[in-house]
Homo-oligomer: A and B are copies of this chain.
Amino acid sequence: MIVVMKVDSGQKEIDDILKRLAEEGLTGHLSKGMERTVIGVVGQAYPELRDMLELLPGVAEVIPITKPYKLSSREFQPQDTVIKVGDLAIGGEELVVIAGPCAVESEEQVLETARAVKAAGANILRGGAFKPSTSPYGFRGLGEEGLKILAQAREETGLPIITEVLGPKEVDLVLRYADILQVGARNMQNFVLLDEVGKANKPVMLKRGMSATIQEWLLSAEYILSQGNRQLMLCERGIRTFETYTRNTMDVSAIPIIEKVSHLPIIADPSHSTGKWYLVAPLALAAVAAGADGLMIEVHPSPDHALKDGAQSLTFDNFQRLMAQLVGVVASLGRKMAGGTNG
């Protein structure tokens, strides 16, 4: 932490700051420049210290110089986190594809979709049994009934399943069925829920909040990691901007940034990012070209009859077409599709 003094500050004010730092067990290292006097804080500074110091007379600004996240950082763990789900490895050499309907609507809808995405080369089945709906009058999911349908689809196809958990009370229930727990964008700062999934012994996928900075996202990851659960992957799903053509703006830059500053696997969700099915394939290819470890794609047997997010769902045919395109792009980047779709 660095304390920048005002141009017109005097020795008395500097002395007061040094005294205040000493109270907190810290040392101030003085540096008088031509423009400004600056005090480097030596010792174990904590985030709230910044607010306190900024209120002292003579202080112009306090600048933190260390990132507030630790366990999720590359500095803490240089090698990539690779998460094993059955035979699958997420975060390694191979591109993992998660596909399925937005919401579990019926046994038939899920089974049909599971078979189709498996045939096209997907590795994991997605589907929501508990749905976060902006309106209380919207479809909120089938609950445990939906989880059972997902488990049935896993049994038939062998695909592991990922599904969202909405509240701390449902974590145990969802854990009984899911292979991967999903924490949704609206819950990225639901700290009670983060603590809870941090105690689970299954992998978690943490979606980026709609208006979360990358640093805030990693701090939410830190909640889960610091509870002991290190099987964590992140998912970019679009941020909120002024542009109204798309539902959100997919922040493709976040993919190489996460790869640089963190060891956690990064998945991209072009379906929620764009909200329009015809943008899903180009954005999926873009995410992979930018280095994503996996994709999460919404697929529905009949998007124009979907109970939720039909406008952004691919038909079976369109999904198959996308998978075919992916094979080439992934190969050109020197990587492979998980599950051997390449051969």
Q: Are A34 and B43 in contact (CB under 8 A)?
A: yes
> Please, could you name 12 A-B residue pairs with CB atoms under 8 Å apart, sorted by A?
A35-B65, A52-B304, A52-B305, A69-B135, A132-B189, A134-B189, A136-B219, A186-B190, A241-B242, A253-B274, A282-B291, A283-B290
A11 within 8 A of B: no
* This chain's copy number in the assembly: 4
A308 — nearest CB in chain B belongs to which residue? B48
Q: Are B219 and A134 in contact (CB under 8 A)?
A: yes
Q: Are B135 and A222 in contact (CB under 8 A)?
A: yes
Q: Are A138 and B289 in contact (CB under 8 A)?
A: no
Residues of chain A from 268 to 286 with CB closer than 8 A to chain B in the complex: 273-274, 277-279, 282-283, 285-286
The secondary-structure label for the interface of chain A is mixed
Q: Are A166 and B138 in contact (CB under 8 A)?
A: no
A303 — nearest CB in chain B belongs to which residue? B55
A190 — nearest CB in chain B belongs to which residue? B190
Interface string of A50-64 (1 = CB under 8 A from B): 111111100011010
Q: Are B304 and A56 in contact (CB under 8 A)?
A: yes
Residue of B46, B132, B135, B257 touching A279 (CB-CB under 8 A): B257
Given A61-B65, A135-B222, A246-B253, 15 other A-B contacts at CB below 8 A?
A2-B38, A20-B304, A35-B45, A47-B135, A51-B311, A52-B304, A52-B310, A68-B137, A186-B191, A213-B244, A239-B241, A239-B242, A249-B251, A253-B274, A331-B332
Given known contacts A48-B306, A243-B251, A329-B289, A135 and B219 CB-to-CB distance under 8 angstroms: yes
A197 within 8 A of B: no
A: residues with CB less than 8 A from B are 2, 4, 7, 20, 29, 31, 33-36, 38, 40-48, 50-56, 60-61, 63, 65-66, 68-69, 75, 132-140, 166-170, 186-187, 189-193, 210-211, 213-216, 219, 222-223, 226, 239-246, 249-257, 260, 273-274, 277-279, 282-283, 285-291, 303-311, 325, 328-329, 331-333
